[in-house]
């Protein structure tokens, strides 16, 4: 098996991605696949070609395209245009104090799952969850000192009580809004995926999610910047083995 050559990091929000783009000195390539508003940036780190792709802004509401649908479309376009050897769903997430999560913690995924696609019909129930093992990155997590756990996706920032019940049932360590869509599209293309998420808020805490997210976004973006660089340096020259 040949060493990794190209790694693509997928972000929802420019605020999440900007520190990483600046740190790596990536150059803008413009729209990834018009009319999709996703923006691509490219550069190198060691022997790796590195792409950062951001979902871009919604034309109607002028805010970042967050959620599983933009994430899936962007991932599909990235796989077609860039042909990466490995995808990394990067960005921010909520953590759980019950699982030892704290602001700024970085998690590497063991699995991706959806917590808000509840379809109580046999067969469709598992389709709704869409539990997907991500590439085994246990060696990477151990080497870099990151936490590991299930990354669960939903299309709401706040966590309703019914969502929290499902997050607990699914054993989630990180709650976010994109990885489920990324995992679906990555699976269609057969591209290995890991998720790299920094905690902005505590899902089972006592502070309003939106307030905590805004307050800690800069901290989490910095944590992802440092984590992304460490991961790329770890991957440089490595083959896509299991565990990675």
Which of the residues are catalytic? 16, 201
Q: Is 32:8 a contact under the CB 8 Å cutoff?
A: no
C-alpha dihedral, 146 to 151 to 157 to 159, nearest 10°:
-110
Contacts of residue 147, Cβ cutoff 8 Å, sequence gap at least 6: 100, 101, 105, 106, 107, 108, 141, 173
Nearest of 117, 71, 76 to residue 90 by alpha carbon: 71
β-pairing verdict for 39-45 and 48-54: antiparallel
């Amino acid at each position: 098996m040949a060493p990794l050559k190209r790694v693509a990091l997928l972000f929802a929000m420019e605020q999440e991605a900007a520190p990483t783009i600046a740190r790596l000195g990536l150059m803008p390539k413009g729209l990834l696949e018009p009319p999709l508003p996703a923006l691509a940036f490219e550069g190198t780190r060691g022997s790796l070609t590195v792409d950062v792709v951001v979902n871009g802004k919604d034309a109607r509401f002028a805010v970042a395209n967050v959620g599983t649908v933009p994430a899936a479309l962007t991932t599909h376009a990235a796989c077609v245009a860039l042909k990466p050897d490995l995808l990394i769903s990067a960005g921010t997430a909520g953590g759980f104090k019950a699982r030892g999560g704290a602001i700024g913690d970085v998690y590497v995924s063991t699995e991706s799952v959806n917590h808000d696609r509840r379809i109580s019909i046999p067969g469709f129930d598992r389709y709704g969850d869409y539990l997907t093992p991500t590439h085994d990155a246990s060696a990477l997590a151990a080497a870099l000192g990151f936490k590991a756990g299930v990354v669960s996706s939903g299309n709401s920032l706040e966590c309703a009580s019914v969502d929290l019940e499902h997050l607990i049932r699914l054993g989630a360590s990180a709650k976010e809004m994109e990885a489920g869509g990324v995992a679906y599209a990555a699976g269609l293309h057969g591209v290995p995926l890991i998720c790299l998420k920094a905690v902005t808020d505590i899902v089972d805490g006592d502070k309003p999610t939106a307030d905590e997210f805004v307050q800690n976004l800069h901290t989490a973006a910095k944590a992802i910047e440092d984590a992304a660089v460490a991961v790329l340096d770890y991957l440089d020259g490595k083959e896509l083995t299991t565990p990675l």
